[in-house]
Structure 1
Amino acid sequence: RGRQVEAPSFYIHLGLDECFVASGVWHPAPETLRKIRHFVFDNPGSWKAAAHDAKFRKRFDLDDSEMLTRAPRGFPPEFEFADDLKRKNFVAYRNLEHATMTGPRLLSTLQKDLAGLAPFTDYLCAALDLEF
């Protein structure tokens, strides 16, 4: 058996209360979170393109359900993406209507969403030195 590696992934959720499509790293181990934060800090231009592009943000939200109150130790609070460094989860998502999840356009919607999430996922893979 090989060793397990924490990696970004795509996720499709169909539930009674909510439906959504997402990608990223949920509840990463401290070392994984440290790598992502340092990569964002060291590569802010590509982070901006991957997570803050206007077209991307029009379609997807970044999960802010669990955030630090201050920038993590070792990072300047005035950094352009200090709020992103506060994240405990690096996940982008889009809520979907139940009608979409059970309707004839599900496949085309998911294809478009997963393609739209790919640059974000690729960035996180690069942060963790993984192939996408």
Structure 2
Amino acid sequence: MSEYFTEDTFVFLRSLGENNNRDWFNEHKAEYEQYVREPALAFIRAMRPELARFAPHFVAADKKVGGSLMRVYRDVRFGKNKQPYKTNIGMQFRHEIGKDVHAPGFYLHIEAGEVFVGAGIWHPDSDTLKKIRSYIDAHPTRWLDAMNNTAFKKAFQMGGDSLKRAPKGYPMDHPMIEALKRKDFIAIGPLMPELILEDDLVGFIASYFETAQPLMQQLCRALGCKF
């Protein structure tokens, strides 16, 4: 069994999904701390030396607020979904420059019935998007080599949104048009939920992150940040 998450973690997340209101959450806050937040912070701490080994410029911050563990509270101001709490655990390991600019990162998503790892950059701003597209246009072979890396292709699939038409400044018959149309440059690696309960969870997730190096290296080069 994992020293981080247990079946009780999934039980809590399912129960939160069925009782997504402030009264229930406040009554079960101790369970959130025991089965979600504290195990997540311990996992983040354990990931720090792993990231230092192959991606030293990415941060594993085990702060309760403002670190790698994403908030359980949803921002309900603009979306149709007004439920106050997220029913998943989200952990992001951002590039060290990520507080000031859009930069790539690693991600782990744990939800009852859905677990996946992610790597890349999600919803970059227009300037960041232009830099990535310019890099792909200038270095198509490097980009294709990364996308076609055998281990990367086996573990990940590219996700996110794409334009229906060519972005401004690029013809529709551009040889890299499918990559250039992307609005997100994120790789998703779906996992079986029970893997979260395994003994060597840290090593397992670290190996997935390490497999995403081809994409992450290209994104860092495109944005002029260290990998």
Say whether the fold is shared (TM-score over 0.5): yes
Q: Which residue of 2 aligns with 1:104?
A: 199
Q: Which residue of 1 aligns with 2:169?
A: 74
Q: Which residue of 1 aligns with 2:154?
A: 58
User: Given the alignment of the two structures, is residue 49 of structure 1 paired with residue 145 of structure 2, yes or no?
Assistant: yes
User: Given the alignment of the two structures, is residue 29 of structure 1 paired with residue 125 of structure 2, yes or no?
Assistant: yes
User: Given the alignment of the two structures, is residue 88 of structure 1 paired with residue 175 of structure 2, yes or no?
Assistant: no
SS at match of 1:20: strand
Letter in structure 2 aligned against 1:46: R
Shift of the alpha carbon at 1:105? 4.1
SS at match of 1:93: strand
Distance 2:152 2:171 in 1: 26
Shift of the alpha carbon at 1:128? 0.4
Q: Which residue of 2 aligns with 1:123?
A: 218
Distance 1:51 1:14 in 2: 25
Shift of the alpha carbon at 1:14? 0.7
Q: Which moved more, 1:29-38 or 1:47-56?
A: 47-56
SS at match of 1:73: coil
Q: Which moved more, 1:71-80 or 1:114-123?
A: 71-80
Shift of the alpha carbon at 1:112? 1.6
- Equivalences, count: 130
Query: Given the two structures, how large is their TM-score scaled by the length of structure 2?
Result: 0.54
% identical equivalent positions: 34
Q: Which moved more, 1:115-124 or 1:2-11?
A: 2-11
RMSD of aligned alpha carbons: 1.7
Higher-Rg structure is: 2
Distance 2:149 2:172 in 1: 22
Letter in structure 2 aligned against 1:22: G
Q: Which moved more, 1:100-109 or 1:80-89?
A: 100-109
Shift of the alpha carbon at 1:76? 2.2
Distance 2:113 2:100 in 1: 32
Shift of the alpha carbon at 1:79? 2.3
Q: Which residue of 2 aligns with 1:11?
A: 107
Distance 2:188 2:148 in 1: 13
Query: Given the two structures, how large is their TM-score scaled by the length of structure 1?
Result: 0.89
Distance 2:203 2:189 in 1: 15
Q: Which has the higher contact order (CA 8 A, sep 6+)?
A: 1
